[in-house]
Amino acid sequence: MIVVMKTDADPDDVHTVKSKISDMKLEVYESIGLNYHLIGIVGDTSKVDAESFTGIQSVKKVIHVQEPYKKASRLFHPEDSVISVGDKTIGGNKLAIIAGPCSVESREQIIHVAEKVKEAGAGFLRGGAFKPRTSPYSFQGLKEEGLELLKYAREKTGLPIVVELMSQDKLDLYERDVDIIQIGARNMQNFELLKAVGQTRKPILLKRGLSATIEELLMAAEYIMAGGNENIILCERGIRTFENYTRNTLDLSAIPAIKKSSHLPVIVDPSHASGIWWMVEPLAKAAVAVGADGIMVEVHNDPANALCDGSQSIKPEKFKHLVDSIREIARIQNREI
């Protein structure tokens, strides 16, 4: 970390900066020239808060040389992490294929979809029980009943279930009943929820926030890991930009970026990213080609009557086509489904 001082820095401010660094048991080096005045910090600065310095008026800016996360960093954990989910894994050679409806709507629906996606090649079943909706007047999910139906579908198909947790008061329930706990994009910086799931050892599927940088996503993972839970799967699901042809803009560059910075597995959700059913397959193929560890896709038996996200859901037969086409790309990548 480098503290860039103003060239006409007040000596008292310089002293304050240096004292703060010493107080953190770190070392100082200083470099002064015609047009610059730098105070470098020597040692492990991954936990140093830049804001400790930015309030000092002679400080121009603070520059990170090291990343501000540690447990999520590849620097301290060079091998890829592989997350175990029962007898399956996410992050290794095998691509994770997660599929299912936006919301669980009925026993028939979820069983039908679960059987179909399993048949097509999915390894995990997703389904919403408690739903985060922009409008209070939209369908909010079947809640506990939805969770029961998902468990039933798991029993029938053997597919582990991925379900979004919206509030820590349901954590015990999820810890008992769910295989992978999803933290949704809108809760990526719900720090109390992150801390709560950090106390479990359940695999967490952490979705990138709509306007979160890659670094912020890794900091959110760090929150969970700092609590002791290192079983994290990251998920790119589109960011908010000025373009409105698609609901969000899928940021596939984030995949190699995350792979470079972190050892955690990362998957892609082309359904939420685009919001458009006919884009799901080409984007899923691109996701595998760019190096993602898996995909998560919304599949519904009857999108026209889906209670949510019908516009981005594909039918089971289209999903089968999708899996077949990514299988070929996976092979080129030396990966399998």
- Residues 254-313 binding a copy of itself (CB under 8 A) are 254-257, 260, 273-274, 277-279, 282-283, 285-291, 300, 303-306, 308-311, 313
- Pairing mode, strands 124-126 and 161-164: parallel
Cβ closer to a copy of itself: 160 or 316?
Answer: 316
Residue type, 139: F
Q: Of the candidates 25, 78, 87, 134, which one interacts with a copy of itself according to CB under 8 A? A: 134
Q: Binding to a copy of itself (CB under 8 A): which residues in 227-256?
A: 227, 239-246, 249-256
Residue whose tokens read 């890794």: 218
Q: Of the candidates 13, 115, 148, 177, which one interacts with a copy of itself according to CB under 8 A? A: 13
- The one segment of 34-42, 91-99, 115-123, 146-154 that binds a copy of itself by CB under 8 A: 34-42
- Pairing mode, strands 88-90 and 83-85: antiparallel
Cβ closer to a copy of itself: 22 or 305?
Answer: 305
Distance in angstroms (rounded) separating the CA atoms of residues 117 and 98: 9
Q: Of the candidates 11, 25, 51, 78, which one interacts with a copy of itself according to CB under 8 A? A: 51
Q: Of the candidates 18, 66, 112, 158, which one interacts with a copy of itself according to CB under 8 A? A: 66
Cβ closer to a copy of itself: 125 or 226?
Answer: 226
Q: Of the candidates 57, 84, 93, 106, which one interacts with a copy of itself according to CB under 8 A? A: 57
Q: Is position 25 an interface residue for a copy of itself (rule: CB under 8 A)?
A: no
Cβ closer to a copy of itself: 150 or 307?
Answer: 307
Distance in angstroms (rounded) separating the CA atoms of residues 19 and 14: 9
Please check whether residue 232 is in contact with residue 180, taking contact to mean a CB–CB distance below 8 angstroms: no
Q: Binding to a copy of itself (CB under 8 A): which residues in 70-129?
A: none
Tokens coding 314 = 């594909």
Q: Of the candidates 36, 119, 201, 336, which one interacts with a copy of itself according to CB under 8 A? A: 36
Supply the DSSP string of 140-152, one letter for each residue. ---THHHHHHHHH
Cβ closer to a copy of itself: 38 or 82?
Answer: 38
Minimal distance in Å, beta carbon 152 to a copy of itself? 25
Q: Is position 204 an interface residue for a copy of itself (rule: CB under 8 A)?
A: no
Cβ closer to a copy of itself: 86 or 256?
Answer: 256
| Those residues with Cβ within 8 angstroms of residue 69's Cβ, 6 or more apart along the chain or in another chain | 46, 215, 218, 219, 221, 222
Please check whether residue 183 is in contact with residue 208, taking contact to mean a CB–CB distance below 8 angstroms: no
- Pairing mode, strands 96-100 and 88-90: unpaired
Q: Binding to a copy of itself (CB under 8 A): which residues in 141-180?
A: 166-169
Cβ closer to a copy of itself: 154 or 320?
Answer: 320
Residue type, 144: E
Supply the DSSP string of 152-191, one letter for each residue. HHHHHH---EEEE---GGGHHHHHHH-SEEEE-GGGTT-H
**E strands along 7-155, which residues?**
27-32, 37-42, 59-63, 83-85, 88-90, 96-100, 124-126
